[in-house]
């Protein structure tokens, strides 16, 4: 039989444990309310709810070009390693010259790419952010921020590279999609250079002379 002192000690421990658990519960509730409030302010679905009607994120990815050829279980692997994040209008997502470590997929809203807060490119739903750094491990060459409320899927480079390295089918379709995206960007850049009277060959020669 426990002594009165031991009983008092156990009662104190039980009270402290309950108090700590109550504080954790309150904290989780507060964080949930804050997250839902941010989502309402930026006008996009809450993380984890998917698009309109509560569509699962896996189904959203299936409708996007870069992931459209992957099977259900392959999409599930990507979703499991990823995290949904929400950014308010003007909020910075990637900073030029600073390592990011993530590949971003735009699920809702749009983001802009530029330098010194001057936008030069808009990326809408289905677009990728950080694919160049994913491919060559280089630092971001521009800033990226939310043009309006944006919901993104954030995929860790390391986990995604391991998945691509160990799953041949995923590797084939992801590499094919990334090549198509990068080729399209090169074509768009070349077209802009021609529109401004700049020959791409001269740009390449100038670039090489500084290497």
Do residues 36 and 113 both lie within one domain? no
Per-residue pLDDT band for 10 (boundaries 50, 70, 90) equals low
Quick check: is 138 in a domain? yes
Do residues 34 and 85 both lie within one domain? no
- Number of folded domains that form the chain: 2
Do residues 88 and 178 both lie within one domain? yes
Task: Give the integer Cα–Cα distance in Å for 47 and 88.
Answer: 13
Quick check: is 50 in a domain? no
Quick check: is 47 in a domain? no
Q: Residue 139: its pLDDT value, please?
A: 92
Do residues 121 and 162 both lie within one domain? yes
- Report pLDDT digits (tens) over 43-80: 444 445 455 556 788 888 888 878 888 898 999 999 99
Quick check: is 48 in a domain? no
Inter-residue contact 54 to 81 (CB < 8 Å):
no
Do residues 78 and 165 both lie within one domain? yes
Do residues 21 and 64 both lie within one domain? no
Task: Give the integer Cα–Cα distance in Å for 105 and 64.
Answer: 9
Quick check: is 19 in a domain? yes
Task: Give the integer Cα–Cα distance in Å for 128 and 107.
Answer: 10
Q: What percent of the chain has pLDDT over 70?
A: 68
Task: Give the integer Cα–Cα distance in Å for 111 and 121.
Answer: 9
Neighbours of 57 (CB within 10 A): 23
Q: What percent of the chain has pLDDT over 90?
A: 34
pTM for the structure as a whole: 0.66
Do residues 83 and 151 both lie within one domain? yes
Do residues 119 and 31 both lie within one domain? no
Per-residue pLDDT band for 41 (boundaries 50, 70, 90) equals very low
Per-residue pLDDT band for 26 (boundaries 50, 70, 90) equals very low
- Report pLDDT digits (tens) over 81-93: 999 999 999 999 9
- Report pLDDT digits (tens) over 156-193: 999 999 999 999 999 999 999 888 888 887 887 778 77
Local structure of 112: helix, strand or coil: strand
Do residues 148 and 187 both lie within one domain? yes
Q: Is the pLDDT of residue 148 over 70?
A: yes
Q: Which residue range(s) make up the domain with 32?
A: 1-42
Do residues 191 and 138 both lie within one domain? yes
């Amino acid at each position: 039989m426990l002594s009165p002192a031991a009983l008092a000690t156990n009662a104190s421990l039980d009270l402290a444990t309950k108090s700590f658990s109550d504080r954790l519960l309150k904290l989780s509730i507060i964080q949930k309310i804050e997250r839902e409030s941010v989502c309402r302010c930026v006008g996009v679905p809450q993380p984890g709810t998917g698009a309109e009607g509560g569509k699962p994120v896996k189904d959203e990815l299936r409708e996007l070009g870069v992931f459209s050829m992957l099977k259900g279980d392959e999409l599930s692997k990507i979703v499991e390693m990823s995290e949904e994040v929400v950014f308010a209008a003007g909020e910075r997502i990637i900073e030029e010259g600073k390592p990011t470590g993530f590949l971003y997929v735009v699920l809702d809203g749009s983001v802009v790419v530029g330098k010194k807060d001057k936008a030069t490119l808009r990326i809408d739903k289905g677009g990728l952010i950080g694919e160049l750094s994913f491919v060559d491990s280089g630092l971001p060459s521009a800033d990226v921020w939310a043009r309006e409320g944006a919901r993104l899927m954030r995929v860790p480079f390391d986990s995604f590279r391991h998945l691509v390295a160990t799953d041949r089918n995923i590797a084939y379709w992801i590499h094919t999609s990334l090549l198509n995206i990068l080729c399209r960007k090169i074509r768009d850049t070349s077209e802009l250079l021609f529109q401004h009277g700049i020959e791409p060959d001269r740009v390449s020669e100038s670039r090489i002379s500084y290497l």
